[in-house]
Structure 1
């Protein structure tokens, strides 16, 4: 009898000790599920949970509410126009637009990337309200839009103030102390260089945000990176925002069947103020190409180069699309040309090859042509002669590779809540961030 009582007592003690143990980090993960619907299985979000900081509205929403301060006097269109549709801008409705064009195309401004990304993050299926189980932490600071207010005519203190304010806010949060910001990431619709002003001279460009000691731990997704390891380039937003994989496939098939009467084309202005610009030479080559090249001159009065329909009509009628550097090394036009199934021609490695490592093939000759800007200026190469030597089979192979890239460089429309466009630019960015933070976490052990 005594032995039976003792056995019952020990058994009770054993189970009590199990229930009384504090939950481990991994146990707590199993109790947290996605904030956006249910996961397909209880563990489907493990390693993919993301926590979003609830920033004061001055860092994001207030910029949209007071969008008039983002518009410069020389802007053709008010920035307030582009805020609608979660940053996609106004839907394109035109007599020239029909079928696929009408429902998925928007007047999207590249500076709305921060708004587009934030809206997608809100719909990310592995959000968590428990930062302890998060694999990464998103900071929804509209860095580019915030800086835009003070870039022209303001002193450096004004340009730097919001970045300093943000860092001071983040440092007070317990989430910061776990990895001192190395698991934090944000998005910028401006190039990385705009946040790396080296002096306090008023004449110098940009802010000093990325030179703040704490900011160096943050990962920034930006439309153009530089030599800094904590800046990662992501695609410029195009005007095509499909809401289903079927819409993407239809567009890809349409680009495969396009009649392309022009060997090459260029949309841009000459940039006469830039001493080392290759554009003047490119325009000269295009104009002397005996109708093999189509030029869309963006220096002329009008909105043609801002019109997605006119740009798409140009690029989808061309075999090759010239992509020289613009105000910086990269151009939105690169992604517009890929979207049109037009093979990009680059004149500087920094325009794509050293930039979009999460998105474009390592072997750049599979999807593009490279012409040295130096050789072009010295007259050692003619664009027309270089492109004519590319065989029909090579063109077909390269074009197919370009068309295959289309899903990777677009930001799909998830506003309906249906997650059907898989592995678009947003998805690949998140996968890249999670992998990067995991590597940084491992190096800190």
Structure 2
């Protein structure tokens, strides 16, 4: 209602006295209303202060309940300043995943698992959380962002891996389709072996090599081989991969405690360390004890029944032949781990795989370089790319007179006779063996354009990866040294990064120097650039000092490949497509096939693997 001043009031026909009285009453009314308005304003301000205090109290309580005030810093809320967005990732590689917040634990050393003594399908009972999910399936709450939708779940029917496939289809979940579940094994399968490191080898005290998460002692200086590159160089044993991989997977960005979301299941069994303790002994039962116990344990677990173990994988940092004993005679070599029915369903990551079996895949030997940042890696790549190489080729090895398949004696003789070859003759294992020194080997390979890498005691050798690390173009003499081994990590076209000279040609005294001189300078530059770009893919980086990186290393590539293998198999099952039947005797050939080719088609290397 509009209020008027006295001068605005209309004239009245009432008596004058009455008019004066009305005016006085009006003024009194206005005074009362002014006091009322002022009081109301004061009340409004007071109410506002009370409301503000209540809001602050509610917000503080909410933050506390959300977990910001719990744990070690109870009652403390940390407010961090906003940072500018990071620069775009390097064009050299793609950025790794940075997971969004979710209910599942992101990093867990000990993932909760089903009871170890769970029996067969008839006796096994679901856990309380699984029973709750089953009981509430008709009244499930709305799906959170980042969780598989109900429509996706229906798409894959009642398969036990339906939620994992649905997560892979969910673009809102940055970890969808990449979750890893780590089995919680007792310490006897892994950590206990590190505690008895002095008994892991007959000739080497492995305790120094189990330090720094399997990297071994930190190296400094390096006699010029890696000076100026900062930290990241370690005296790493080539058989320490069991520890390195396990330590790295603890920091994997997409760990989960929910097995139904897992794209793959990691089994942290130190198979390589276990078998090394008994390889030269006569106790066959001791070699197989832990392997048999593990197989019995895994096949009783509910995670195993989902796919019969075909979504499980483990790492064994030795060659496949250390785990493929066929007979039980005391003179037979190795354990029978990879010949066990359970292991045949899993994927075994070894440093050298079998050309005639399908359950193992070769991953790179660990070298001495474990960069802690992208900058360390890029600096090293630029360094080896710009080196002045004074020798055409080099060789680190020794003659093996008692080994009929070895050509190392021929290469030693050719290198000694050539002024453009640098030779490092290795001795038996021990402190005087120059080939055991990472700095000495790296210095040799950095001085050469080409590095000779024949088969030695085994088909594959760690120096192949030392050569790549040094920016030295590898020269292989048998396809089993690299081409049919590391298909996840090296280009399918071996001529892009290496030179191939058949062993038989060397035995017939073909000149290695003449073959290498035929490679044009332009091709040398192209091949070296390819080799330098391969360095990240054959390196196990140090992930303890960073949260993310733009570079995918050997660990990232291996995990991604395992997940892709499992996911492809699951989609085939869910969509009713039969799994491709592969013949084990052609396992070496499958990664080399072009589109439309069949394993039965002729290949130039058929005589070498038949």
Give TM-score, length-normalised by structure 2. Answer: 0.66
Shift of residue 102 of structure 1? 4.3
1:69 aligns with 2:165: no
Which residue pairs with 1:184 in the alignment? Answer: 312
Note if 1:243 corresponds to 2:362: no
Q: Which residue of 1 aligns with 2:554?
A: 425
Q: Per-residue deviation at 1:393?
A: 0.7
Does 1:153 pair with 2:281? Answer: yes
Q: Distance in 1 between matches of 2:424 and 2:230?
A: 23
Q: Which runs of no fewer than 5 residues in structure 1 stay unpaired?
A: 1-16, 31-40
- Return the match for 1:144 from 246, 267, 272: 272
Partner of 1:92: 219
What does residue range 34-433 of structure 1 map to in structure 2 within 5 Å? Answer: 43-72=173-202, 74-75=203-204, 78-94=205-221, 96=223, 99-226=227-354, 227-289=356-418, 291-299=419-427, 302-379=432-509, 381-420=510-549, 422-433=551-562
What secondary structure is seen at the aligned counterpart in 2 of 1:252? helix
| Residues 51 and 129, structure 1, Cα contact 8 Å, conserved in 2 | yes
What's the CA shift for 1:297?
0.8
1:93 positional shift: 2.3
Q: Distance in 2 between matches of 1:61 and 1:95?
A: 31
Alignment of 1:22-41 (within 5 A): 26-27=148-149
- Once residues 229 and 378 of structure 2 are traced to their aligned partners in structure 1, the CA distance between those partners, rounded to angstroms, is 14
The alpha carbon displacement at 1:272 in A equals 2.5
Q: Would you say the 8 A contact 2:282–2:331 is kept in 1?
A: no
Single out whichever of 308-317 and 21-30 deviates more from structure 2: 21-30
1:343-385, Cα deviation, whole Å (9 max, x unpaired) = 0000000101111111111111110000010111022x21011
| Per-residue deviation, 1:154 | 2.7
Residues 411 and 424 in structure 1, CA contact (< 8 A), matched pair in contact too = yes
State the SS of the aligned residue for 2:334: coil
For this pair of structures, how many residues does the alignment match? 414
Counterpart-to-counterpart distance in 1, 2:362 and 2:389? 30
Is the CA contact (8 Å cut-off) linking 2:427 and 2:434 kept in structure 1? no
Partner Cα separation in structure 1 for residue 531 and residue 435 of structure 2: 22
Q: CA deviation at 1:440?
A: 2.1
SS of the residue corresponding to residue 110 of structure 1 reads coil
Are the counterparts in 2 of residues 244 and 421 from structure 1 also a CA contact under 8 Å?
no
**Alpha-carbon offset, residue 156 of structure 1:** 1.7
In 1, Cα distance between equivalents of 2:446 and 2:220: 20
Distance 1:83 1:220 in 2: 21
1:243-265 CA distance string (max 9 Å, x none): 11111111011011101111100
C-alpha separation between the residues in 2 aligned to 1:355 and 1:123? 27
Name the TM-score, length of structure 1 as normaliser.
0.89
Check whether the contact 1:59–1:142 (CA below 8 A) recurs between aligned residues: yes
Contact 1:270 1:299 survives alignment (8 Å)? no
Cα-Cα RMSD: 2.1
In structure 1, what is the Cα distance between the partners aligned to 2:229 and 2:275?
33
Map 1:4-15 → 2, pairs under 5 A: none
Q: Which residue of 1 aligns with 2:139?
A: 20
Structure 2 vs 1, CA of residues 286 and 120 (structure 1 numbering), >3 Å: closer, same or farther? same
Match of 1:10 in 2: none
**Which whole-Å CA distance do the structure 1 matches of 2:219 and 2:571 have between them?**
46
Q: Kindly indicate whether the alpha-carbon contact (under 8 Å) linking 1:242 and 1:421 is maintained by their aligned counterparts in 2.
A: no
Q: CA deviation at 1:23?
A: 8.3
Q: Secondary structure at the match of 1:266?
A: strand
Would the aligned equivalents of 1:238 and 1:336 in 2 still touch at CA under 8 Å?
yes
Aligned partner of residue 328 in structure 2, secondary structure: coil
SS at match of 2:148: helix
Residue 219 of structure 1 contacts residue 231 of structure 1 at CA under 8 Å; is this kept in 2? yes
CA offsets, 1:15-43, max 9 Å, x none? xx99814889934999xxxxxxxxxx950
Could you tell which deviates more after superposition, 165-174 or 82-91?
165-174
Following superposition, the deviation at residue 409 of structure 1 comes to 0.6
Deviation at 1:113, TM superposition (A): 0.6
- Where does structure 2 lack aligned partners over 5 or more consecutive residues? 1-135, 154-170, 575-610
Matching residue of 1:14: none
* Aligned-residue offset at 1:172: 1.9
Structure 1 18/217 Cα, relative in aligned 2: closer, same or farther at 3 Å?
A: closer
